[in-house]
Amino acid sequence: MQTSWLLPEATDRERMLDMDRRIRPVRRAAFGVLAIALVLSGPWMGWWTILPLGLAAVLFRLAEARIDRAKRPEYGLFAAWAGSQVIIAISVGITGGAESVTIAWFVIPLVTLGSRFSERGIIAGLAFTVCLVLGVAYVVDPQAVVDHPPTIIAPLALLISTTMLITVLMRSDVATRADAVIDPLTGMLNRKALSARVTELAQQSQVTGFPIGLIVGDLDRFKSINDTHGHAVGDAVLKDVAYVLRKALRAFDAVYRLGGEEFLVLVPGADRATSEEIAERLRAAVAEVDTQGLHITMSFGVAATDQGDPFDYEAQFAAADAALYEAKAAGRDRVRVAGGTDLTALPSPT
């Protein structure tokens, strides 16, 4: 899986996407709370203030709709986040600048930064927000800031200190959850993370009807690697293969380690043909790269739901696992599709 400036670690994107799915319902509830506050304040502040809030909600809904298809979804999410801060800045500016009662609202988006982005994203987001606060204060009423500096010092102190505190708390929570859902050897998501994602996809498929591809991959003759070269080399091979798989996948395709040398990929929105193509790309990527001085190959089994059918993980996994068994029996280093034929007719590896 490719990294980016916002997410420099390979597992950061998986964590960000997981956290964003958790934040979504709370974010919508927060928008509801703000909407109620604006309605109650309407006689004094004006009813128009609801419009910027509605625009911010639309920005996040657009980002949510595109996140599963974006190559680097973190930039879309950060753009939506920055857009919400700009909208708050406009509202603050129109309602009084530094003296506006809504200036504290800048802190609401800031508390979500630490849960989704790395230190780079947190610093960039905080710096962006500080610039917005200073800009609004000095554009609307610079004399008020000059006459009474605490007007701007207090909100800035609140923003910075809250970001610092929430970042530490979020990092602690992320570390705890990572211990539970991240495989310590490969850095991939584990069975516990898979279970949560399967439940979510099953619910989504009932609403959207989109197909969901499932790919099961297994290293060929891995036992002989451990027996011949030792478990230390075997562990190194697993880590190298995990890196190759992440790099070959799209940003929004999650890969899980089921245990031992077996891996699983969930491909939302992919039908049987698309899942087959992805599996073949993974097979070729592993076969092209020697690791630890060894030529490693993998076999893959593929299954997918049909358009409009709900996602039944147990049935799809059983079908993909059976296809994987066929690939192994047919000579390894190949892809088999449940109910289909052999995609690659390669000679059996030595």
- Among 3-12, 131-140, 175-184, 306-315, the range scoring the smallest mean pLDDT is 175-184
More reliable by pLDDT, 342 or 280: 280
Q: Write the burial class of residue 224 (CB in 10 Å: 0-12 exposed, 13-18 middle, 19+ buried).
A: exposed
Question: What's the CATH fold of domain 191-337?
Answer: Alpha-Beta Plaits (3.30.70)
| pLDDT, the chain, mean | 86
In 172-326, DSSP assigns E strands to 212-219, 254-259, 262-268, 290-291, 294-295, 298-304
pLDDT tens, position by position, 294-335: 999 999 999 999 988 999 999 999 999 999 999 999 999 999
In 94-230, DSSP assigns E strands to 212-219
> Is 325 in contact with 262 (CB distance < 8 Å)?
no
> Is 38 in contact with 45 (CB distance < 8 Å)?
yes
Q: Where are the domains of the chain?
A: 12-181, 191-337
The predicted structure's pLDDT at residue 251: 65
User: What SS3 class is residue 213?
Assistant: strand
Label the pairing between strands 298-304 and 294-295: unpaired
The predicted structure's pLDDT at residue 273: 94
The predicted structure's pLDDT at residue 220: 96
| Structural tokens at position 2 | 């490719």
What average pLDDT does range 250-277 have in this prediction? 90
The predicted structure's pLDDT at residue 2: 59
Label the pairing between strands 254-259 and 290-291: unpaired
| Pairwise CA distance, residues 16 & 120, whole Å | 14
What average pLDDT does range 249-273 have in this prediction? 89
Unique residue bearing structure tokens 């996948």: 249
Fill in the DSSP letter of residue 333: S
> Is 6 in contact with 17 (CB distance < 8 Å)?
no
- The whole-model pTM stands at 0.56
pLDDT tens, position by position, 119-140: 888 999 999 999 999 999 999 9
| Pairwise CA distance, residues 89 & 319, whole Å | 53
Radius of gyration from C-alpha coordinates of the chain: 25
pLDDT > 90 in the chain, percent: 43
Does residue 278 surpass a pLDDT of 90?
yes
The predicted structure's pLDDT at residue 292: 86
- Among 17-31, 154-168, 295-309, 332-346, the range scoring the smallest mean pLDDT is 332-346
pLDDT tens, position by position, 195-254: 888 988 998 888 888 999 999 999 999 999 999 999 999 999 999 999 899 888 876 678
- DSSP H or E run through 305: none
Residue-wise over 91-103: b if at least 16 C-beta within 10 A, else e?
Answer: bbbbbbbbbbebb
More reliable by pLDDT, 95 or 271: 271
pLDDT tens, position by position, 30-78: 888 988 988 898 888 888 878 888 888 888 888 777 776 677 888 888 9
The predicted structure's pLDDT at residue 350: 32
| Structural tokens at position 243 | 């890196």
